[in-house]
Structure 1
Amino acid sequence: MFFCAAHGAIAQEDNLHHQSSVYEAPTDPEVVAKLDKWQDLKFGMIVHWGVYAVPGMIESWALCSEDWINRDSTVSYHEFKDWYWGLKDEFNPVDFDPDQWADAADAAGMKYLVFTTKHHDGFNMFDTQQTDYKITAGPFKNHPKANVAKHVFEAFRKKGFMIGAYFSKPDWHSQYYWWDKYATADRNNNYDIRKNEWRWNMFKEYTYNQISELMHDYGSVDILWLDGGWVRPLETVNDEVRAWGARIPEWSQDIDMPKIARMAREAQPGILMVDRTVHGPYENYQTPEQSIPKEQLDVPWESCMTLGHAWGYHEHQNYKSVNKVVHTLVEVVAKGGSLLLGVGPSPEGLLPDEDVKRLKGIGDWLEVNGDAIYGTRTVTYYQDDNVYFTQGKQGEKYAIVLIEEGMEIPNTVSWSDEQDVKGKKVTLLDGGKSLRIAKTAGEVVVTIPQKIRNNITQKDAIVFTFQ
């Protein structure tokens, strides 16, 4: 590889979107209903795929001149950009198989999709009419599935998934955002909008038109997942935004979200707007990235995390274990959230075998224990050491006991009687056996006989249900 320094696993802390501290609940009845439905699903897949898959490098960010980016120091920035933009002529995913992706997500027990229609680099994975920097204008253009987003959405709809369109508000390829007249110092637009109002208005029109295409031409869409939270009205920049550490321009990068939202909801009634970190009426749920909130939250939220170390394709992913993902999912759900797990298809268009294998392992656990996850809501006393609690909408309660990788299932499990059990029995979901409990010294103690422990098939976490 020519620009090898940019291809490796670059530390990504500086590009994470943190959780908003302010939440404004929607009032539109159709949005409220869809949000409740989304909160039942709990587990989704986010797919990062674009030209960055060709060299297997960090998605888009190597184009950005910020201190945390590590490019090859022997190559000029101009050369690097030319090389990166040129990847469009190499991106030819001839094995593209969206049904393989949907099958893997379904086997994982996932229930909704978020697909990157365009990342910050501006390369479009749909047949936009606003630019030629798109998958349908390169070597893949004559493939029957060249309009990638359309076929991805269709494949996941066939599985009954809610459909989310990821869209980057910043567009580093657009002359209306990064103008070649000036250097491109960082993630922000690179000219003073106050002095170049026409240019910014062209960018607003460009963005509106692209989102309109997604809203009108790609079937039913449930979520508009907008990334790039630094593109926002200046008046929404508060101390938590300043704490990100990125430069904040003196001008407003306002793209007129009210107008976009009106158009989107006319085309897709009830669609969830997820304008990440821009607290207000267009952030219908919050999205902490690569992290789980320390405490339970009483607002809708979703942790977006990667299955490996990178969002997009990387030849040598540092994968999370099935055990780790199951434990993460349990903690997220007990704290009131959903888990959006990230995968990156290969430059040829397939999910790697190791992704598929691990996703299937997660799904095997959910097939047995999913009642404690899907359709549940929080309880006040939600954690006792390695035991987490959820409840179903009919009042049924679940105790989910996390078992560390390589550890045996204990013969007794206990928790505080702050999470009490009516009666003298609980039921183990894995096998359906009723187990006796004892209540002593402020504790609920469940005994699991050896014979029953031996027959437990899913050992990453065990679940008891009770009233």
Structure 2
Amino acid sequence: MNKRTIKEIILGLVCISLSYSGYAQKDNVHQRSSEYQAPVDPLVKAKLEDWRDQKFGILIHWGIYSVPGIIESWSICSEDWIERDSTIAYNDYKKWYWNLEKVFNPVNFDPDQWAEAAESAGMKYLVFTTKHHDGFNMFDTQQTDYKITAGPFKNHPKANVTKHIFEAFRKKDFMIGAYFSKPDWHSQYYWWDKYATPNRNNNYDINRYPWRWNKFKEFTFNQLNELMTDYGSIDVLWLDGGWVRPKETVNDEVRAWGAPIPEWSQDIDMDKIAAMAREAQPGIIFADRTVHGPYENYQTPERKIPDEKLEDPWESCLPLGDNWGYVPNDNFKTSEEVIHNLVEVVAKGGNMLLGIGPESDGTFPLDAVAVLEEIGEWLEKSGEAIYSTRTLGYYKDGTTYFTQKEGKKYAIVLVKKEKEAPKMVSWKGNLPKKGSKLTLLETGEVLKWQIKNNEVIVNLPSDYEQVTPALAFSFN
């Protein structure tokens, strides 16, 4: 690559990142399918219960989009909700975007620092984007040269970043999830240059060109086979891009979501993929997002928490900021907001997957790390009421949420920032039994309580001055 090319790319980065630095993917979200088919494989069922015990995970979006600090992948998709610089022709923009591989060089990449930050936050499992919709591979695939191990980072000892990220998090006893995008907008087998690319779907008639789609199926299978066989033990295969699905699974519910639906079937043969994956990784959980059936082992509502408790396994995917990937000056949630979200999710029966985007040099934003540390401080003291718990029939009373585990019940009272710590708290429902010890998990103190008019009133210690996002109590 000559100096002029590098200069042009960097100039483009400056101009376009200024246009996109405040843009977030707020409206294009994955819905939650209402149908659920429970797995029957006993190994999958056992791993799914283990996953449900973890409660709190980290979702890491990292790729070439972190260089200009813009929305991941979607800016190269031509749909009405996408905004781009109107002075740049669409095809020129796509070329600029895909050429970001030439300057993506994360020289400060330290996966152990990532794992340390996640552990300090009290997180228990990882989902890492091995490939997003733009088709840039964050692992050393042999199916294409569009990958991090073919660019300026290729000679780094940790160039195969997925391998080293998985290893770093395994050392912290995290469950490991591999995010993989089913659509691949860089592949000529998905977005063919013969035609325009009007939306997120493949841009040619599969019925007319079955050979080309079969090549895409082969390409996808081979990439997933690499991930399943060359990257150690993997617990979750997290498949994004739910519009890549058999046509028979497109029902009225899917149509109502409003995403463009082609006339042909984008079937990639999940039966074959699943057989291969579960031979290599016995018991692996599939999260084939929104494609109800045997390979959506848990559901993944995105950017929202369900209104009511759900009995089936689910995971609420929430970004720490407005964006999944790194965007400068992103609007991060406070630790209080995240903890309140986590408590609500767990009380309603779900796990929470918190999204964080590393910067292009390979480091976590310092502001994000600070929030993670504060979350971890609360979980270190009160996590007993979160981890490995299950729901109660009566799971909420106002801003108090309830969980249970091993014969104990827990009440978690959400607290807003105040000038003074509360002197007492109260709730209705799930009342302690007569003679029960009621313990404040934060301090380990057994507190005095009484019941009046079917409401428990708990007196906090007279010297209690801590202002915490939530007060967690255990009782029988």
TM-score of the aligned structures, taking structure 2 as reference length? 0.96
Residue 459 of structure 1 aligns with which residue? 468
Paired AA for residue 98 in structure 1:
P
Which of 68, 84, 89 does residue 71 from structure 1 map onto?
Answer: 84
Residue 207 of structure 1 aligns with which residue? 220
Which of 425, 438, 446 does residue 450 from structure 2 map onto?
Answer: 438
Paired AA for residue 422 in structure 1:
K
CA distance in 2, matches of 1:82, 1:214: 28
Moved more, 323-332 or 439-448: 439-448
Which of 165, 187, 192 does residue 174 from structure 1 map onto?
Answer: 187
Paired AA for residue 74 in structure 1:
T
CA distance in 2, matches of 1:450, 1:17: 47
Task: Say whether residues 1:415 and 2:424 are aligned partners.
Answer: no
Q: Shift of the alpha carbon at 1:6?
A: 5.2
Paired AA for residue 332 in structure 1:
V
1:52-451 equivalences under 5 Å are 52-392=65-405, 394-406=406-418, 408-416=420-428, 418-424=429-435, 425-451=437-463
* 1:450 partner SS: coil
Q: Is the 8 A contact 2:134 2:185 kept in 1?
A: yes
Task: Say whether residues 1:28 and 2:50 are aligned partners.
Answer: no
Q: Could you list the per-position Cα deviations for residues 295-350 of structure 1 after superposition, in whole angstroms to 9, with x for gaps in the alignment? A: 00000000011111111011111010000000000000000000100101110001
RMSD of Structure 2 on Structure 1 (CA): 1.1
TM-score of the aligned structures, taking structure 1 as reference length? 0.97
Q: Could you list the per-position Cα deviations for residues 351-410 of structure 1 after superposition, in whole angstroms to 9, with x for gaps in the alignment? A: 111111110100000000000000100001110001000001x11010000001235432
Q: 1:64 and 1:331, CA in 2 relative to 1: closer, same or farther beyond 3 A?
A: same
CA distance in 1, matches of 2:431, 2:106: 54
Which of 55, 66, 80 does residue 42 from structure 1 map onto?
Answer: 55
Q: Shift of the alpha carbon at 1:68?
A: 0.7
Percent identity over paired residues: 65
Paired AA for residue 73 in structure 1:
S
Paired AA for residue 217 in structure 1:
D
Please list every run of 5 or more consecutive structure 1 residues that lacks an aligned counterpart in the other structure.
Answer: none
Moved more, 236-245 or 331-340: 236-245
Paired AA for residue 396 in structure 1:
K
CA distance in 1, matches of 2:16, 2:189: 27
Q: Could you list the per-position Cα deviations for residues 16-59 of structure 1 after superposition, in whole angstroms to 9, with x for gaps in the alignment? A: 11111011100100000000000000000010000000000000
Q: Is the 8 A contact 2:17 2:69 kept in 1?
A: no
Q: 1:407 and 1:198, CA in 2 relative to 1: closer, same or farther beyond 3 A?
A: farther
Q: Shift of the alpha carbon at 1:5?
A: 6.3
Q: Is the 8 A contact 2:249 2:291 kept in 1?
A: yes
CA distance in 1, matches of 2:351, 2:221: 29
CA distance in 1, matches of 2:148, 2:161: 8
Q: 1:319 and 1:134, CA in 2 relative to 1: closer, same or farther beyond 3 A?
A: same
Q: Could you list the per-position Cα deviations for residues 395-451 of structure 1 after superposition, in whole angstroms to 9, with x for gaps in the alignment? A: 1010000001235432221111x3121124411111111112111112111111321
Residue 11 of structure 2 aligns with which residue? none
Paired AA for residue 473 in structure 2:
F
Q: Is the 8 A contact 1:4 1:72 kept in 2?
A: no
CA distance in 1, matches of 2:73, 2:393: 41
Figure out how many residues of one structure are paired with residues of the other and give that number.
462
Q: Is the 8 A contact 1:6 1:57 kept in 2?
A: no
Paired AA for residue 48 in structure 1:
H
* 2:448 partner SS: strand
Q: Shift of the alpha carbon at 1:212?
A: 0.3
CA distance in 1, matches of 2:388, 2:301: 21
